[in-house]
Structures are given as structure tokens and as C-alpha cells.
């Protein structure tokens, strides 16, 4: 199950771009190879409001509130696109290495989670909609594969080009999921506003702000309106890709467990660096 979550979350994080306007394109160019390094740091703070008996019991086991943990993930991958044929542009993403460390901040113990290498195959159709094809590496059963397909194709929307001028902004919707103690994986709809600040030397510089809401009704989880995000993007115009992206999410929530409340704060720092490795000329 952990492998499935990592493959989905980190794959989705990859595919997202004297001049005063910029044509943003949200899919890669054909016949290109990109190298990508994605880092994610998740700092979780939990505060339990409930039975004094449970609080005393946990305290006797060395767990006091607020309780904090940290998870650090780093993914190194190669993204390769091919010539568009029969209305399809193939895209192959190969994970070269993945490191994941989870650590209770009040302990010196590090829990390293190994994840097998994987390669995800898919394509974009004529409407610029992504379709999952197959995956190699980790062994998944039929149910797990269908979950991966559903998640990777979840946006289900054409990634249309957007023309934007300096000082102007536009909004785009996406989805993200995080693990919450007491509620499992929780999916959010994310509305992101992109604002073009400037264009210099072929690079478009954008600021982003995010708003979060639950993707579907969840009686166990309440997301507070103060949950927000912000970030910065450097978009390589010639190579049609996000060169550098940094963002921070701050999600404040209450999780109901057996009539008690666990207040959970997630602070998520994301960064991605993408470099054009090779450009293959079409025959």
C-alpha cells in the first residue's frame, strides 16, 4: 500500500510553465528527456483533546502532546517523451532512486522506508489528457493497478495552453492527498492561483497561492479555513517545462476519533528541479 501511495503522489507532482506575456503549456514537448529531482518534507504536529485516561496511558508510554513527527522524501527520476503518433504522445517516467525517512522528532530513531524502482508508461491524447498505460518494477495486483490508474488519470481534464500577461493571474484546480492519523489517506481539491511577475532571459517567474478543501464529505475530518499554501515557479519557455518550483502548504484540521478530537497541523515543503538532459530530433 505504501508503494502505491508514493508512486501516485510523486508521479502527479511531476506533470504540471523585452516580452510581457507568456504562453504556459502544461504538458512536455515530444522527443525530450528531462531529469527531475523532487524533495518533500512533511512536518506533522498532533494535539489530542479527549479522555484524560488515554492521555495518561500514552504519557506512560513516552508519548506526550503536542506530538511531532517528520517525514522526508526525495525522488530522482527521468522523464522521456516520444514522437506523437496516431494521436498519442508517449511519456515514460523512470524512477532512478527514492529515499524516504520518517522520524519522531523526540527520538533519534529513523525509520527508512525502501521503495522498489518503478517505471510508469502513459500517453497524452489529442485533447492533452493524460492516460495511464502500465507500470513496471513493483508487483501490484489487479486492484492496486486500478487504483493507480484512477489516481493518475484523476484530473481527467485537458491541460490547455494559457496565455498570461505580466501582472495578471489565472486559476487551476488539482488534487493532492495526505495521510492523517485516525482517518487514513485524505484527498483534497486544491485551487491554485498563478500570477506572472516577470519574464527574464527566457524564464517566466510566477507566484502561486493555494486554497484547500476536502474532495468529498468526510465526517471524521474538518479542514480549517486558515489552511493555505504559497510558492514560486521558474518556467523555461523554450523547453516548455517548470525548471524550478518551491511551495509550502499549511493545513490545519481536526480529526474525530471515538468522540475525541485530534488537532493535526501539516506543514509541507515541496521543491522540484527539472533539467533538459537530451533533445531527440524527429526522423
Q: Is 152 or 46 the better-scoring residue by pLDDT?
A: 46
User: Residue 118: its pLDDT value, please?
Assistant: 78
> What is the pLDDT confidence band of residue 239, given thresholds at 50, 70 and 90?
confident
Residue 222 lies in a domain: yes
CA–CA distance, 5 with 162 (Å, rounded to integer): 30
Residue 45 lies in a domain: yes
Asked if pLDDT for residue 228 goes beyond 80, the answer is yes
Residue 278 lies in a domain: no
Q: Is residue 81 within 8 Å of 90, Cβ to Cβ?
A: yes
Percent of the chain with pLDDT over 90: 27
Residue 205 lies in a domain: yes
Q: Is residue 241 within 8 Å of 34, Cβ to Cβ?
A: yes
Query: How far are the Cα atoms of 170, 235, 251 from residue 24, in angstroms, in the given order?
Result: 11, 8, 28
User: Residue 10: its pLDDT value, please?
Assistant: 46
Tens digits of residue pLDDT in 71-117: 888 888 898 999 999 999 999 988 887 777 777 655 545 555 555 56
Closest to 211 measured CA to CA, from 238, 173, 246: 173
DSSP letters, 64-131, are -SSEEEEEEEEEEEEEEE---BTTBEEEEEEEEEEEEEEEETTSS--EE------EEEEEE-TT--EE
User: Residue 157: its pLDDT value, please?
Assistant: 60
Q: Is residue 114 within 8 Å of 101, Cβ to Cβ?
A: no
CA–CA distance, 128 with 83 (Å, rounded to integer): 14
User: Residue 244: its pLDDT value, please?
Assistant: 94
| Total tally of structural domains belonging to the chain | 1
CATH of the domain at 225: 2.30.230
Asked if pLDDT for residue 140 goes beyond 70, the answer is no
CA–CA distance, 40 with 270 (Å, rounded to integer): 5
Maximum average pLDDT range among 52-56, 135-139, 196-200, 275-279: 196-200
User: Residue 17: its pLDDT value, please?
Assistant: 37
Asked if pLDDT for residue 240 goes beyond 90, the answer is no
Q: What is the dihedral of CA 194, 199, 200, 204, to 10 degrees?
A: 40
Asked if pLDDT for residue 282 goes beyond 50, the answer is no
Residue 130 lies in a domain: yes
Asked if pLDDT for residue 135 goes beyond 60, the answer is yes
Tens digits of residue pLDDT in 168-190: 999 988 888 888 777 788 888 89
Asked if pLDDT for residue 220 goes beyond 90, the answer is no
User: Residue 148: its pLDDT value, please?
Assistant: 65
The predicted model scores a pTM of 0.78
Closest to 280 measured CA to CA, from 146, 79, 99: 79
Where in the sequence is the domain holding 58, given as residue range(s)?
Answer: 2-272
Q: Is residue 115 within 8 Å of 77, Cβ to Cβ?
A: no
Residue 280 lies in a domain: no
- Other Cβ atoms within 10 Å of 116 Cβ, number: 11
Give 3-state DSSP helix, strand, coil % of the chain, rounded to 5: 10, 60, 30
Closest to 39 measured CA to CA, from 73, 5, 76: 73
Residue 7 lies in a domain: yes
Residue 279 lies in a domain: no
User: Residue 115: its pLDDT value, please?
Assistant: 53
User: Residue 196: its pLDDT value, please?
Assistant: 94
Asked if pLDDT for residue 206 goes beyond 90, the answer is yes
Name 277's bridge partners.
none
Asked if pLDDT for residue 14 goes beyond 50, the answer is no
Tens digits of residue pLDDT in 46-79: 887 777 777 777 677 677 778 888 888 888 889 8
Q: Is residue 235 within 8 Å of 243, Cβ to Cβ?
A: yes
CB-based contacts of 72: which residues, under 8 Å, 6+ apart?
39, 40, 41, 42, 99, 100, 101, 102, 103
Asked if pLDDT for residue 7 goes beyond 80, the answer is no
User: Residue 229: its pLDDT value, please?
Assistant: 95
Q: Is 72 or 155 the better-scoring residue by pLDDT?
A: 72
> What is the pLDDT confidence band of residue 199, given thresholds at 50, 70 and 90?
very high
Burial of 31 (0-12, 13-18, 19+ CB in 10 A): middle
Amino acid at each position: 500500500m505504501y508503494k502505491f501511495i508514493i508512486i501516485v503522489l510523486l508521479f502527479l507532482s511531476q506533470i504540471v510553465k523585452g516580452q510581457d506575456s507568456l504562453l504556459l503549456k502544461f504538458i512536455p514537448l515530444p522527443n525530450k528527456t528531462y531529469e527531475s529531482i523532487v524533495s518533500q518534507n512533511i512536518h506533522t504536529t498532533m494535539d489530542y483533546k479527549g479522555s484524560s485516561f488515554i492521555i495518561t496511558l500514552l504519557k506512560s508510554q513516552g508519548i506526550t502532546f503536542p506530538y511531532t513527527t517528520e517525514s522526508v522524501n526525495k525522488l530522482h527520476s527521468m522523464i522521456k517523451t516520444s514522437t506523437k503518433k496516431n494521436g498519442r504522445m508517449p511519456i515514460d517516467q523512470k524512477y532512478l532512486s527514492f529515499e524516504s525517512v520518517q522520524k519522531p522528532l523526540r527520538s533519534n530513531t529513523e525509520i527508512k522506508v525502501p521503495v522498489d524502482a518503478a517505471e510508469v508508461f502513459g500517453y497524452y491524447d489529442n485533447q492533452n489528457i493524460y492516460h495511464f498505460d502500465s507500470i513496471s518494477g513493483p508487483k501490484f495486483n489487479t486492484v492496486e493497478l486500478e487504483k493507480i490508474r484512477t489516481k493518475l488519470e484523476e484530473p481527467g481534464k485537458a491541460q490547455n495552453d494559457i496565455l498570461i500577461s505580466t501582472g495578471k493571474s489565472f486559476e487551476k484546480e488539482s488534487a493532492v492527498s495526505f495521510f492523517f492519523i485516525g482517518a487514513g489517506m485524505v484527498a483534497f481539491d486544491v485551487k491554485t492561483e498563478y500570477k506572472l511577475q516577470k519574464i527574464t532571459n527566457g524564464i517566466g517567474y510566477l507566484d502561486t497561492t493555494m486554497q484547500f478543501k476536502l474532495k468529498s464529505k468526510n465526517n471524521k475530518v474538518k479542514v480549517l479555513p486558515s489552511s493555505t499554501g504559497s510558492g514560486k515557479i521558474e518556467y523555461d519557455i523554450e523547453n516548455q517545462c517548470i525548471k524550478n518550483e518551491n511551495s509550502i502548504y499549511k493545513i490545519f484540521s481536526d480529526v474525530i476519533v471515538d468522540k475525541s478530537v485530534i488537532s493535526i497541523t501539516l506543514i509541507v515543503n515541496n521543491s522540484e528541479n527539472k533539467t533538459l538532459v537530451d533533445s531527440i530530433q524527429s526522423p
